[in-house]
Amino acid sequence: MELVIRPDTEAACNLVAAIIAKAVREKPDLVLGLATGRTMERLYARLAAMHRDEGLDFSRCRTFNLDEYIGLPVEHPGSYRYYMNRHLFNHINIDPANTFLPDGMAADIKVGCAAYEKKIVESGGIDLQLLGIGADGHIGFNEPLSGLKSRTRDKTLAEPTINVNRTLFTNPNDMPRRAITMGVGTILDARSVILLATGKSKADIIAKAVEGPITSMVTASALQLHQQCRVVVDEDAATELQHQDYYRWIFDHDPDWDEYRTAK
């Protein structure tokens, strides 16, 4: 795992966008794992701008989202399909047929989950998985006690998650109680992973996930087992980390970060 601290939210988002853009340029048919949530909005705006201004080409990419609510039709503004269209897909040149989310309206959810896992494998596996982190340490919707080898499945959302996410609904009572999510094991199968976290509200959980023990109570801590995981935070989200000097030293000296150090 590598941890990078950027001066502010914009610089953190721009660094992650630069990593994604490089991956897309190096492998035009990249299989990209995507996340939703407030944190990603700025990042997706940056990717859309890179497409518009620099011609960043997504035409051959395929995408798999981490999760989707159960029981919300795709045209509902609270659905993650709606979010992805609004914040990213409508602004880049990706083929909509190559964008995949779990089917929260499937007649048989378990069959749908197995089909989603199969589709990922048939696509050659996820090259780069983007992640946010919930206040309880969830990645995707892998709430506390999710098995660290879990696969795509339906999950009942934890109360704190419902309380945070319901504020995004015009009618908060529309917020579903259940969702389909890639499992922790599904996420760990990605060839590389980037977790983006910004703001003071993420400081405590980032410290637990990165510097604490690997535990299913904080499913993001399982990323410590991943072979290529980068965690990008802003100063606010870094405040509870014990080893900030070490992370800054590595970022300043590791040649792998040379091209990104000056990114604003």
- Catalytically annotated residues: 67, 136, 138, 143
Residue type for 185, please?
Answer: G
Of 199 and 212, nearer to ligand F6R (C-beta) is 199
In the complex, what is the shortest distance from the CB of residue 118 to ligand F6R, in angstroms, rounded to a whole number?
21
Residues 130-159 that bind ligand F6R (CB under 6 A): 132-134, 138-140
In the complex, what is the shortest distance from the CB of residue 42 to ligand F6R, in angstroms, rounded to a whole number?
10
Question: Of 32, 35, 61, 84, which one interacts with ligand F6R (CB under 6 A)?
Answer: 35
Of 38 and 149, nearer to ligand F6R (C-beta) is 38
Q: Which residue's beta carbon is nearest to the bound ligand F6R? A: 132
Of 109 and 130, nearer to ligand F6R (C-beta) is 130
Residues 58-77 that bind ligand F6R (CB under 6 A): 66-67
Binding site for ligand F6R (CB under 6 A): 35-39, 66-67, 132-134, 138-140
